Amino acid sequence: MPQPKNAMEIFQLLDKSNCRECGEKTCLAFAGAVFMGQRKLSKCPRLDRETIERFSGESEFQNAFVMSRDEYLTKLKAEIANIDLGAAAKRVGARWSGGKLTLKILGKAFSVDTKGNLFTDIHINPWVAIPFFNYVLYGKGSPVLGSWVSFRELKDGKERYSLFQKRCEEPMKRVADAYTDLFDDMVQLLNAKQVEKQFESDISVVLHPLPKVPIMICYWCPEDGLESSLNVFFDEATDENLDIGSVFTLGVGLAQMFQKLSLRHGVPGAVSSL
């Protein structure tokens, strides 16, 4: 089967029962998540083995997602080439020098030139590049308010909150549960800032993936029969500075980074709990 052009082609493979056993509210929502690379086709409990095997572990769907992501990055680069990058730097709180806009992402310098080329001393992941471009292109540069809200309270965040929990908060919590000390070390290495006293928890920090898009992570260890919990919060001005899709990408990207680092540097034997 050729690579799907949209989620509807994946939807046609499903039984459309909306059984919710996959964790999504509808078969259409599941199809969209598969197309975007957020879920695997094999997670549908009612799909026959022959169909799953035919697509070799969803490799065609995953390739479609990667292609779509790369095409999106190409589009964003082209848009960067058509704006006044110096004016954009002033608007979003970046530095403008030598024909490059430079700002800090988690304490590291990232630059973009007038042709949309990115420069940094570390590997550039798509989960950083896409929000970076959207921040420069469309961010209003509104000042941080210091008022914290959950993802679901952001504009258009309510519909995506369930998926944000599954792909950001829950995996991040599993890392913190299994490697609590290492998790604390990891967030501190990302140029973390301490939170205000009223937000203090066992581990509570503010990260700046973008200058005017701070993220607060609060983790509470299990205690007295209570389960652990982890919540991610955003400044109330985030809606003015970044679109909800890029906010989602940042949160999920952070969770994936924590997972990879914990598996590489964590305590042997704890990996199975992740």
* pLDDT tens digits for range 175-227: 999 999 988 888 888 877 878 777 788 999 999 999 999 999 999 999 878 89
At 135 the three-state DSSP class reads helix
Q: Which pLDDT score, from 0 to 100, does residue 186 have? A: 86
Q: Which pLDDT score, from 0 to 100, does residue 274 have? A: 33
Better-scored residue on pLDDT, 37 or 177: 177
Taking only the tens place, the pLDDT of each residue in 215-246 is: 999 999 998 788 999 999 999 999 999 999 89
Instruction: Say which residue the tokens 């089967």 belong to.
Output: 1
Amino acid at 228: S
Q: Do 166 and 248 share a domain, yes or no?
A: yes
Q: Do 246 and 152 share a domain, yes or no?
A: yes
Is the pLDDT reported for residue 41 higher than 50?
yes
Count of domains for the chain = 3
At 133 the three-state DSSP class reads helix
Out of 138, 168, 183, a domain closes at 138
Q: Is residue 253 part of a domain?
A: yes
What is the rounded distance in angstroms from the CA atom of residue 12 to the CA atom of residue 17?
12
Q: Do 180 and 247 share a domain, yes or no?
A: yes
Out of 68, 87, 113, a domain closes at 68
Q: Is residue 73 part of a domain?
A: no
Q: Do 35 and 134 share a domain, yes or no?
A: no
The CATH number for 15's domain is 1.10.15.40
What is the rounded distance in angstroms from the CA atom of residue 179 to the CA atom of residue 184?
9
Angle, CA 226 vertex, CA 225 and CA 232 arms, to 5°:
160
* Reported pTM: 0.72
Tokens of 218: 């609060």
What is the rounded distance in angstroms from the CA atom of residue 63 to the CA atom of residue 67?
6
At 235 the three-state DSSP class reads strand
Assign residue 267 a region (left: φ > 0; alpha: ψ between -120 and 50; beta: otherwise): beta
Instruction: Say which residue the tokens 């790369």 belong to.
Output: 70
Q: Do 59 and 84 share a domain, yes or no?
A: no
Q: Range of 61's domain?
A: 7-68
Out of 87, 117, 138, a domain closes at 138
Distances 248 to 30, 46, 133, 151, 186 between C-alpha atoms, Å: 17, 29, 15, 8, 20
Q: Is residue 249 part of a domain?
A: yes
What is the rounded distance in angstroms from the CA atom of residue 207 to the CA atom of residue 187?
8
Q: Do 173 and 264 share a domain, yes or no?
A: yes
Q: Do 245 and 221 share a domain, yes or no?
A: yes
Q: Is residue 153 part of a domain?
A: yes
Q: Which pLDDT score, from 0 to 100, does residue 107 have? A: 84
What is the rounded distance in angstroms from the CA atom of residue 41 to the CA atom of residue 55?
9
Q: Which pLDDT score, from 0 to 100, does residue 219 have? A: 93
Taking only the tens place, the pLDDT of each residue in 106-165 is: 888 999 999 999 999 877 888 889 899 999 999 999 999 999 999 999 998 988 898 899
Instruction: Say which residue the tokens 């990408």 belong to.
Output: 249
The chain-wide mean pLDDT, for the chain, equals 84
Q: Which pLDDT score, from 0 to 100, does residue 144 have? A: 94
Q: Do 164 and 191 share a domain, yes or no?
A: yes
Q: Do 119 and 214 share a domain, yes or no?
A: no
Number of Cβ atoms within 10 Å of the Cβ of 119:
12
At 238 the three-state DSSP class reads helix
Q: Do 108 and 213 share a domain, yes or no?
A: no
Q: Is residue 1 part of a domain?
A: no
At 57, give phi and psi (nearest 5°): 70, 35
Q: Is residue 34 part of a domain?
A: yes
> Rounded to the nearest 10 degrees, how much is the dihedral formed by the CA atoms of 121, 122, 128, 134?
20
Q: Do 47 and 153 share a domain, yes or no?
A: no
Q: Do 12 and 112 share a domain, yes or no?
A: no
